[in-house]
Amino acid sequence: MQAATLVETGAYIALAGILVSAAISDLRDRRIANRLPLMIAALFVVAATARIVTGDAVTAALLWPLVTGLTVFLIGLAAFATGTMGGGDVKLLAATALMAGPALAVPMVLYTAIAGGFVALTLLVWQRTSKSTSPNAFKVPYGVAIMAGGLWVCVHKVSAVSA
pTM of the model: 0.93
- The pLDDT, as a whole number, for residue 156 is 95
- The residue segments making up the domain with residue 144 are 2-162
Instruction: From 125, 99, 104, select the one nearest 42 (Cα to Cα).
Output: 99
- The pLDDT, as a whole number, for residue 127 is 81
Residue 87, amino acid = G
Q: How far apart are CA 69 and CA 148, in angstroms?
A: 18
With residue 123 as reference, give the H or E element that holds it: helix 87-130
Question: 39-78, pLDDT tens digit by residue?
Answer: 999 999 999 999 999 999 999 999 999 999 999 999 999 9
Q: What percent of the chain has pLDDT over 90?
A: 82
Confidence band of 163 (pLDDT split at 50, 70, 90): low
Residue 144 three-state SS: helix
Q: How many domains does the chain have?
A: 1
Of 106 and 128, the structure prediction assigns the larger pLDDT to: 106
Instruction: From 137, 111, 134, select the one nearest 124 (Cα to Cα).
Output: 137
The alpha carbon of 90 is separated from its chain's Cα centroid by a whole number of angstroms, namely: 9
Confidence band of 133 (pLDDT split at 50, 70, 90): low
